[in-house]
Amino acid sequence: MTSILSALFGALIVIMLMALRSRLLSFQSQAPAEYQGKGPAFDLRRHLSGPIQCEGVIFGPTGRVSSRFVAQMEGRWDGDTGTLAEVFRYDSGTVQHRAWTLALGQGGAIVATAPDVVGEGRGEVAGPGVMLRYRIRLTPEAGGHVLDVVDWMYLMENGTIINRSQFRKFGIKVAELVATMRPAGAQALERPVDMAAE
């Protein structure tokens, strides 16, 4: 009986250490304040405006690429409220249309909604980083599951945005997305990053 209790106690310690690691040392544990003043200022009204070209990959639960995509996006703003219309074209031939509504608040706060988002997404802008947490309902073709998402965008000095998102179900990572976003066409030449904003 003692060996069974020892094994259970050891398993409990391992689970607690893994949970602590996930909470303190992982992608999910980042805080927007860590990026304040550490690069060009990410202004959503500026950097998510006009036509945007995007390319990315989605990794499955094993860490292997499960899907690739290219997307065209169009950002439009009216004061502190904006829409980001997205058209994704996946390597499978599937085309997906999405649209975000973004509302900016005090101190860099963001509230985001979309037809496939359950409730509201909430996040924050700080320095070159944007963090957004939300719950997304997958399409029926993808199983219709509701996943918890941690979404980060990082503004680079040349105006490119690196996007990394992790999708979890019951706390277990089931997918990860990595993408680049940048101004499309002639607008790319008109929107350099303001280095004085660092």
Instruction: Kindly tell me if the per-residue pLDDT of 90 is higher than 90.
Output: yes
Segment (H or E) for 47: helix 44-47
Single pTM value for the model: 0.78
Q: Is residue 143 part of a domain?
A: yes
pLDDT for 148 beyond 50: yes
Answer whether 56's CB lies under 8 Å from 163's CB: yes
**Residue 13 within any structural domain of the chain:** no
pLDDT beyond 80 at 11? no
Domain enclosing residue 138, as ranges: 31-186
Calpha distance 161→193 (Å, rounded): 11
Residues 6+ apart with CB under 8 A from 148: 133, 135, 167, 168, 169, 171
Residue 80: phi, psi to the nearest 5? -95, 10
User: What's the structural domain count of the chain?
Assistant: 1
| Domain-located, residue 156 | yes
The answer as to whether 57 is a domain residue is yes
Judge whether 144 lies within some domain.
yes
Does residue 101 lie within any of the structural domains?
yes
Quick one: pLDDT at residue 196? 46
Query: Is the residue at 1 inside a domain?
Result: no
Q: Residue 125's pLDDT is what?
A: 93
CATH code, 71: 2.40.128.20
Q: Is residue 108 part of a domain?
A: yes
The average pLDDT across 161-171 equals: 94
